[in-house]
Chain A
Amino acid sequence: MLFCIFARNHSKMQRGNTYTWTRLAFIFISGLVLLFLVAPLLGLFFSTSLPDLFQAAADVQVQQSIGLTLGVSALTTLIAAVFALPLAYLMARKDFRGKALLQGLIDIPIVLPHSAAGIAVLGCIARDSALGRLADLFGLNLVGSPFAIGMAMAFVSIPFLINSARDGFQAVPLRLEQAALTLGASPFRVFRQISLPLAKPSVLSGLVLMFARGMSEFGAVVIVAYYPMTTPVLIFDRFNSFGLGYARPVAVLFVIISVLVFIGLRLMGRTGKKNNDVIL
């Protein structure tokens, strides 16, 4: 199918007289990369029978884990947005000393090994930490709770929301915000009615990216909460305890859900995207 798309574009190129060997080589190499991405997923799908898939979908433990994963990730994303959007706006609009350092700090979770991120989050919520002791006063143990899962998900995925929203706010012309101020709007009203609606595609894209990244997190989550099991942990557990055949249907089910989220992300991100075609 991919090669059909390329062949169609190829004939268009010849008509447009922009055909070059460089472009042909690039198309071929790009095809190999796409094959590398698609082949394992197709292998996963073709080696799982429909009855196995339906059995996995009917499994209460699987259903509960998918519900937990999606629910915690969605709630975490919404709560994180309240904190991430003002920070993203400041990063887009203000110049201050130490801004580059702060940007590095925001990006740290992206470069950390996720198991190390899990250990870091565990240190914050363990019984001997300030937060852990506070929860203990109310008889709660944060480790192994949906709260711990949300913390781990947020820690590794919040940079995606902050960076995407920051890019969106940066693309809003400053003049529009200034015009609103001179018309009597308070800075918060300007943020709400001008900056946020105009940065909406990037903010939505960031929210979906954070949600998708959070729900697929394994390394950090497994350290703070093996139980209750999120779906990535459940897939690992079934693979570890019963083998590949038992883990695969759950994996396929979760891949389908992830792909649906991914399609949603691409559809939302498409609005306002510039054409970045370069003639090679």
Chain B
Amino acid sequence: MSDTIRISTEDRPGRITILRVEGRLDARAADLLEQRAKDVAAEGRNLIVNMKGVTFIGSSGVGLMLTLTEEFREQAGSVRFVELSPPVRAVVELLQMMDLIGVDASEDAGLKMLEAA
């Protein structure tokens, strides 16, 4: 059962960090991811969150996606959410949030968007 969350980090050149999230992104896991993302923001790096392995997302996870978008924007940075898994996509679409957050099909597409910005 995927009752734990796993987050792996990869730093890329161009001041970009990729966080790969796997497992259930519920209320407790959202706090964990938020801390990791804020560390990235504190270093002044841009962020890519790969959500390919997310098996469940609750309102706190979705709320985090909006919070991160807002916070990176305030610091003149940017966050891209890539490879949304079907559960994530279903919930994001249910809330009609596609226009509010930056979504890309792949890490490469996310990197391109960040480089172009």
Are A and B part of the same complex?
Answer: no
Q: Which residues does A use to contact B, with CB under 8 Å?
A: none
